[in-house]
Amino acid sequence: MRETTEAREVLFQHMQSKVTAAIPVIAMTRFPWLLNKQMMLKKSFPTLVYVPMPDYSSRYLLFKTQMNAQPSATEEEVEELAKHTEGYTISDILVLMRDAALEPVREIQRATHFRMERHQSVDKPDEMMDMESVCSSSDPGAKAKQWMDIKPNDLYVKPFTVDNVRKCLSRSKPCMRADELEQYRKFTEDNRS
């Protein structure tokens, strides 16, 4: 704890020196009310900027951009995702999308049966090739095996879909609570220049 306090003091002194007076400092924190009162002096941080949570339009554009590679995503589905993520930060949404992109990999890792199917080649998009695909034990041609027994180029990984995003959304929560948002608004009002 003492080292942290000393580090803050050194940083504060450095920020006040003439050497760094012409260098703008941009800082970001999730908890600005916890900053040392000395650092809140107008000299140190003359401007406070509150960046609000993304609104519906921002979330819509983010999902539209993220789902752009998925031709199966309809306008209605993108709108639904934007609507159901009220209170999510941009970071929350990006984590959600990364999680959804991993769902097809998780399906492969859980699978106990695979079968040969024709799919577009990863290396040569104009060619079709036989690849091992996840299936149920009752599907025709199903063979019991683990994904580790299959050569990487012979394993078909499904593209992620809106359903993967929905599944991940059902088990995720935004990192910000309503009371925290109110605390940000109050802090911004109290510290406005």
CATH number of the domain at 111, please: 1.10.8.60
Q: What is the DSSP pairing of strand 113-120 with strand 143-144?
A: antiparallel
| pLDDT greater than 60 at residue 165 | yes
Give the length of the chain. 193
- Pairwise CA distance, residues 69 & 181, whole Å: 33
**pLDDT average, residue stretch 74-103:** 93
Q: What is residue 73's predicted lDDT score, i.e. its pLDDT?
A: 84
* 3-state percent breakdown (helix, strand, coil) of the chain, nearest 5: 45, 10, 45
Same domain, 47 and 61: no
> Is residue 46 located within the same domain as residue 132?
no
* Domain limits for position 19: 2-51+181-190
Q: How confident is the model at residue 41 (pLDDT cuts 50, 70, 90)?
A: low
pLDDT band at residue 187 using 50, 70 and 90 as cut-offs: confident
Question: Does residue 66 share a domain with residue 158?
Answer: yes
Count the domains in the chain: 2
For residue 16, is pLDDT > 70?
A: no
Q: Are residues 69 and 135 in the same domain?
A: yes
Q: Which range in 26-35, 63-72, 81-90 is most confidently predicted, on average pLDDT?
A: 81-90
22 and 92: one domain? no
For residue 4, name the pLDDT band (cuts at 50, 70, 90): low
Q: Are residues 110 and 15 in the same domain?
A: no
What are residue 131's DSSP bridge partners? 117
Label residue 11 by pLDDT band (50, 70, 90). Answer: low
Is the domain of 19 the same as that of 32? yes
Mean pLDDT of the 142-154 span: 93
Question: Same structural domain for residues 64 and 148?
Answer: yes
| Per-residue pLDDT tens digits for 118-131 | 998 877 888 899 99
How are strands ordered across the β-sheet holding 113-120?
128-134, 113-120, 143-144
Q: Where are the alpha helices (DSSP H) in 67-114?
A: 75-83, 90-110
Please indicate, yes or no, whether residues 88 and 124 belong to a single structural domain of this protein: yes
Q: What's the Cα-to-Cα distance from 39 to each of 1, 12, 44, rounded to whole Å?
A: 18, 7, 6
Give the 3-state secondary structure of residue 37: helix
DSSP calls for 101-116: HHHHHHHHHH--EEEE
- Over the chain, what is the mean pLDDT? 83
pLDDT in tens, 48-62: 777 788 999 999 999
Q: Which helix (H) or strand (E) holds 134?
A: strand 128-134
80 and 128 fall within a common domain: yes
Are residue 62 and residue 43 in the same domain, yes or no?
Answer: no
pLDDT surpassing 60 at residue 42: no
Mean pLDDT (whole number) for 146-158? 92
pLDDT band at 172 (very low <50, low <70, confident <90, very high): very high
Asked if 151 and 170 count as a contact pair (C-beta separation under 8 A), the reply is no
Per-residue confidence (pLDDT) for residue 70, from 0 to 100: 67
